[in-house]
Structure formats: structure tokens, C-alpha cells
Amino acid sequence: MQHTFRQIFRSGKFIIGFTILMMILLMVIIYPLLFPYPPLQIIAQGTFFPPGVYVSVYDAINAPALYTLNLEDADLKRIANRLSQEDREAMKEWLVSFGVPEEEIDIENTEQLLSQWNANYDPNLRLPGMTFARQRYFQRVNAAIDGLLSTEGAIVATRDPETGTLEEKTVIQQTDYANVDQIANVRVLPLGTDNFGRDVLPQLVVATRVSLLIGLVAGLIATTIGLSLGLVAGYIGGLIDDVIMFVTNLFTVIPAFVLLILISFSIGQDRRGAITIAIVIGFTSWVWTARAVRSQVLSLRNRDHVNLSKLSGHSVFRIILIDILPYIASYVVMALILQISSGILAEAGLSILGLGPRTTETPTLGLMLNWSMIYQAHILGKWWAYLPVLITIALISFSMNLMNTGLDQVFNPALRD
């Protein structure tokens, strides 16, 4: 056994696949311990918040200490943040329509552009041929750039509860900065939020764990059924082999995914939990394992050591368990790995069609794809709602296929040579 493990871990492909899978497993185990956020907790009033660090504006104003930093590029970044290229083009369009020579307008020279705008723009003026909507657009641009180059600070005022008047509380200068570590409420959202305003990262971690569990349960069931039927059919043969092969061929003719859809649909959404879906996938995915195991057993059942066991009067169960099963154990392990990977992909396919587990309990990778598709994340360009899920599914399948290929190179004499 030790020699076998040494051979397995000498395979480069197996090591790479095993490492990727272990990293995923460690992430789904350790992350919830460090950041115990409920995966389906709604934290945002809105949909698809982009990834980033979110700082409470209220607490930022009331930071315990403000620091004065004279950064050279602060003004440029502030202007660029409030004056987009589209706004600059619009300002040029208005100035040209107003009569300013086009060659005198440099939209990259922000100070000059603002000076020309402030000198010529009239929000009440509607130029010939200009629609009302376009006039409103120019008014919004003007409101956005109002006071853009002002050096005065922003006044924070509070309302007097007795008189109702605003009283100056403090003035925030343009050079004032707050240390993020000193602000009370800061939340890092590395993958933003989804369509329901839920943090995507803890949701992805839990969904990966649930999908791996579904794949494991489905793989164990499919491998157990396929292994049992393949061993019995291959060793006993005769009428039992014919009956098992008839059933196997029957399941082969019917596409497994269609059968999976029909069974899932008949169960009803209220009763479709993660384990239920795993069981359904397992009971519809055993066919090729049974056929493959049967072929392996047919080549083993007339070996000398098996015939010796028959002559010794050993039971069929003992012969299968002691004399045949160890010879196909490596093959069974490889089949199990592929069944787990297939189970995860099958769950994702079912959930995308709306036939996955209930949506109110635990997320799965397929459910996350379903939510992003229904709320058009791919059309709106909200990549963080679906791309990490696709990458996670691809990594799991890739790692398991690499492990399987590595094992095949170790245990298959033809490939080993």
C-alpha cells in the first residue's frame, strides 16, 4: 500500500489536481471559521454592488482623527472622478453650438475647459435644434461640475431640534483623509453582491461546499450501484447477467440527463433539498460504471486464483470480495472521482434549468448561476455574479480529471510503459 501511494504521488498530473482540490477544500473549511457571515444574508439595498472596500460615509465623517495629506494627484483624480470623457465631449458640443471655435477647445485641459464652460454656459438657454432631453443632460453636467475646482471644504451641519435651523458642525477640507483602520464600519466585498444584495464570496464558499457534498453523495451512490451490479453480472453471468444488462441497456437508451430532469420535476421544489438532488443524480448515473466494472470482472473471473477459490468451496460473496474486488479497486476509485465531478456538473445543469435544490436554504454553484442568469448579470456586465462560479466549477472538474489521468497512468500498465 505504501509503495502504491508513493507511485501515485510521483505523478505530476495527480499532484497538480490533488493540490487544486485540497486548496478548494481548505477554503470551504477555513473561510467560514474566519468570517462566519450567513451566506444568504441580505446586506445591501440594491443589486450587483461591484467588488471593493465599503466604508461607512457617516463614520468616515466622524472618524476619530483626520490627517492632512497634500497629494499632488488628488485634484486630478477628483476631477476625473466627476468629469468623465463623455461629459467633456458634451461640454465641447455645447460650446461649439454656442459659437466657441472648435480649435480653441481642448477637452483634455480641464482647467481651460471649465473656464470656457463657466464663461459661456447658460442653463436656461436652449440652442436651436436642441431637444429638451439634451438640454436637461447639459444641466445635469453643469450641476456635477459646479464647484469642481473650488478649494473650499464641505460643511457638515446638524439641525437644531428646537429652531430647525442648520448649524455648522465641522468643515471637511479637500486635503483631509481618514485612516480606514480607524473607521468603525468597513466591509470588504471582494466579489461584490448579487442580485439580492448578498455578499457573493461567503455565498460562493458555502455553495462550493454544498456542491462538493452533492457530488460526493451522488458519486458514492452511483459507484456503489454500478460496482455491485457490475460485479454480480460479470462474475455470475447467465440469466442474472442478461437481466442486469437488459436494465443497463434500458438506462443507456434513455438519456440520463432527461431522466434526471423528469425525476427532479416530479419531486416538486418544496421537497428538493441538496441531498435529495444528490440521490436522484446518483440513481441515474450508475450505468457506465456497471458496464465498465462488468468488463473488468469478465477478464478476472477465470484467473487461476479465482478458480482455486471455487474449488476450495468459498462462497460467491467471498470470492468477489477477496479475489476480484482488490484487482479492480484502483479502477473503482477512478470511477468514483469521475462520478463526483459528473455529479457537480449535473447539479449545476439542473439548477440552471430551475430544477435544483430549494432556493431558500443553502446555495449551490448551480443556483448561483441560475440567479445570475435570471437577473441578467451576463447582459448587465456584472461578471462577479457568475464568473467566479464558472471558474470554481472549472477548477473542480479540472482537478478531478487531472487526478484521474494521473491514477490511470499509474495503474494502467499500457500507459505506464
DSSP string, 315-371: -HHHIIIIIIGGGGHHHHHHHHHHHHHHHHHHHHHHHHTT-SS-SSS---HHHHHHH
Per DSSP, the three-state class of 36 is: coil
For 189, the grid coordinates are 466585498
Q: Which residues contact 242 (CB under 8 A, 6 or more apart)?
A: none
Closest CA to 389 of 370, 374, 403, 404: 370
The percent of residues in the chain predicted with pLDDT above 70, rounded, is 97
Give the dihedral sign, CA 138/143/147/148.
negative
Q: Which domains does the chain have, with CATH numbers?
A: 1-46+195-415 (1.10.3720.10), 55-69+152-189 (no CATH), 73-149 (no CATH)
Report whether 54 contacts 199 (CB < 8 A): no
Predicted local distance difference test score (pLDDT) of residue 416: 59
- The dihedrals phi and psi of 171, each to the nearest 5 degrees, come to -125, 125
What's the whole-number mean pLDDT along residues 178-202? 93
**For the segment 343-369, what is each residue's pLDDT rounded down to a tens digit?**
999 999 999 888 888 876 789 999 999
The confidence band for 373, taking pLDDT boundaries of 50, 70 and 90, is very high
> Radius of gyration over alpha carbons of the chain, in Å?
33
pLDDT at 196 over 60: yes
Q: What is the mean pLDDT of the chain?
A: 88
What's the whole-number mean pLDDT along residues 126-147? 79
Predicted local distance difference test score (pLDDT) of residue 415: 60
The confidence band for 143, taking pLDDT boundaries of 50, 70 and 90, is confident
Q: Which of 7-16, 70-79, 83-92, 383-392 has the lowest mean pLDDT?
A: 70-79
**For the segment 11-68, what is each residue's pLDDT rounded down to a tens digit?**
888 999 999 999 999 999 999 999 888 888 999 998 999 999 999 998 988 888 889 9
CA atoms within 13 A on the CB side of 39: 23
**Integer Cα distance of 374 and 276 in angstroms:** 24
What's the whole-number mean pLDDT along residues 234-254? 89
What's the pTM?
0.83
